[in-house]
C-alpha cells in the first residue's frame, strides 16, 4: 500500500501454498477491510512449493510485467518508479534489485553477509553492463510476460532459473542498482551457512545446466560471462579441495612444513581484513563443493518447512 505507483495500473496476487499458520485468514481480513485495494488471493490445497505457486499466480495475471517478491522482504516506496523504466528497453526482458540487510549491525555474521552481498552486487552489475546476470534476487524480480513461458520449477531457483530462461529467449536480464530491498540477514553462523548452501545448491544446478548448453553450443549468454562463472562455481571448488588434501598429505609426510604453514595461518589470523576475506573464501569453496556433491546425488535443499 505504501509503494509509490498508480494502483489502477497494478494487480497484486497472493498465493497461499496450503499454509497452516493463519496466513490465509489474515489475507481475507485484509481484503474485507480494503475492498478498493487490487489484491486477489489464489489458494492451493496442496503444498507444492514456491515455483509451482508462482506459476498458478501467473495464470491469473492480466498485465504485461510480472513482479515477484519474497514474503520476508520489504521495499523502498519508490522502487517501481526507479526500476521499471529499465524495461522500456526492448532488449531487456527481466530486472532484479540488490539486497541490503536490515540488521547489518547486529553482529559479525550480519556484517559478513552484508559484505558478501555487496561484492555479489558488484559482480552482478558488471555482468549486467556486459550483457546479463542470472544471479537474481527473489526479493525483487520483474519479468516481461513475453520473455518467458513459466517460472523455473526444476532447479529450485525460481528467480535465477527464470532469468536464465529469459536470456535463452534472447532477452537481457540485468541488475538495477537503484532497486533496493531490505531483509533480515542470518544472525548466526549456522543459519548463514544454511542460507549460503541453499543459494549455492540452486546456482550450481543452474551452472551445470549452462555447461551442458555451452557444450551443445546453445548457450545465449556470452562466453566472457558464462565461462568464468562455470569455472568459479564448478571447477574451482574441486581444485581447491584437491589442493587442500594434497597440502595435508604433504604436512603429514613432511612435518617440517608445519612451521611455515603455522606462520602463514598466524599472519592470516592476526590481520582482520585478511582473516575475514580468507574465512569467506574457504567457507565458500567448501559450500560450493558440498553443493556439487548434492547435485551429483540429486538431493535438494528445502528452504521452507510446511
Instruction: Say which DSSP state 8 is in.
Output: G
State the pLDDT at residue 302. Answer: 58
State the pLDDT at residue 227. Answer: 94
Polymer length in residues for the chain: 306
Q: 113 and 185 in contact (C-beta within 8 Å)?
A: yes
Distance (Å, rounded) from C-alpha 207 to C-alpha 129? 20
Grid coordinates given for 96: 532484479
State the pLDDT at residue 301. Answer: 65
| CB-based burial, 97-133: b 16+ in 10 Å, e otherwise | bbbbbebeebeebbbbbbebbeebbeebeebbeebbb
Nearest 5°: the CA angle 49, 69, 283 is 75
State the pLDDT at residue 224. Answer: 93
* Kind plus residue range of the DSSP H or E element containing 65: strand 65-68
Distance (Å, rounded) from C-alpha 295 to C-alpha 297? 5
In sequence order, which ranges of the chain are alpha helices (DSSP H)?
23-33, 50-58, 79-83, 108-130, 158-168, 189-216, 223-230, 236-253, 258-270, 272-296
3-state secondary structure of 35: coil
Distance (Å, rounded) from C-alpha 262 to C-alpha 145? 57
- pLDDT (tens digit, 9 = 90+) per residue, 110-134? 988 898 899 999 999 999 999 999 9
State the pLDDT at residue 306. Answer: 44
State the pLDDT at residue 303. Answer: 53
* Kind plus residue range of the DSSP H or E element containing 257: none
Distance (Å, rounded) from C-alpha 96 to C-alpha 304? 22
- pLDDT (tens digit, 9 = 90+) per residue, 241-267? 999 999 889 888 888 778 777 787 777
Q: 191 and 101 in contact (C-beta within 8 Å)?
A: no
Grid coordinates given for 63: 498485465
Grid coordinates given for 6: 498508480
66 forms bridges with which residues in the sheet?
A: 143
State the pLDDT at residue 29. Answer: 92
* Residues of the chain where predicted confidence (pLDDT) is lower than 50: 306
Distance (Å, rounded) from C-alpha 143 to C-alpha 66? 5
Residue among 287, 119, 121 at smallest CA distance from 192: 287
Amino acid at each position: 500500500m505504501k509503494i509509490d505507483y498508480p494502483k489502477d495500473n497494478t494487480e497484486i496476487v497472493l498465493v497461499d501454498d496450503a499454509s497452516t499458520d493463519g496466513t490465509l485468514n489474515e489475507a481475507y481480513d485484509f481484503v474485507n477491510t480494503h475492498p478498493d485495494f487490487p489484491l486477489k488471493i489464489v489458494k492451493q490445497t496442496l503444498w507444492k512449493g514456491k515455483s509451482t505457486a508462482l506459476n498458478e499466480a501467473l495464470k491469473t495475471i492480466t498485465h504485461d510485467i510480472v513482479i515477484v517478491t519474497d514474503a520476508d522482504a520489504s521495499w523502498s516506496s519508490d522502487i517501481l518508479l526507479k526500476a521499471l523504466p529499465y524495461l522500456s528497453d526492448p532488449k531487456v526482458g527481466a530486472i532484479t534489485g540488490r539486497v541490503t540487510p536490515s540488521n547489518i549491525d547486529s553482529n559479525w555474521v550480519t556484517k559478513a553477509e552484508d559484505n558478501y552481498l555487496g561484492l555479489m552486487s558488484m559482480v552482478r552489475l558488471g555482468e549486467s553492463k556486459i550483457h546479463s546476470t542470472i544471479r537474481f534476487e527473489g526479493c525483487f524480480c520483474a519479468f516481461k510476460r513475453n520473455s518467458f513461458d513459466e517460472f523455473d520449477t526444476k532447479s529450485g531457483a525460481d528467480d535465477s532459473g527464470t532469468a536464465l530462461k529469459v536470456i535463452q529467449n534472447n532477452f537481457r536480464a540485468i541488475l538495477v542498482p537503484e532497486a533496493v530491498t531490505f531483509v533480515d540477514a542470518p544472525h548466526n553462523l549456522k543459519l548463514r551457512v544454511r542460507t549460503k548452501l541453499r543459494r549455492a545448491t540452486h546456482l550450481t544446478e543452474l551452472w551445470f545446466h549452462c555447461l551442458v548448453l555451452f557444450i551443445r553450443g546453445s548457450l545465449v549468454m556470452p562466453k566472457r560471462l558464462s565461462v568464468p562463472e562455470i569455472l568459479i562455481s564448478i571447477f574451482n571448488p574441486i581444485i581447491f579441495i584437491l589442493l587442500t588434501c594434497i597440502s595435508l598429505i604433504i604436512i603429514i609426510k613432511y612435518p617440517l612444513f608445519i612451521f611455515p604453514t603455522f606462520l602463514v595461518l598466524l599472519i592470516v589470523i592476526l590481520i582482520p581484513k585478511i582473516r575475514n576475506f580468507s574465512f569467506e573464501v574457504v567457507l565458500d569453496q567448501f559450500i560450493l563443493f558440498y553443493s556439487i556433491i548434492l547435485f551429483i546425488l540429486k538431493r535438494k535443499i528445502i528452504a521452507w518447512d510446511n
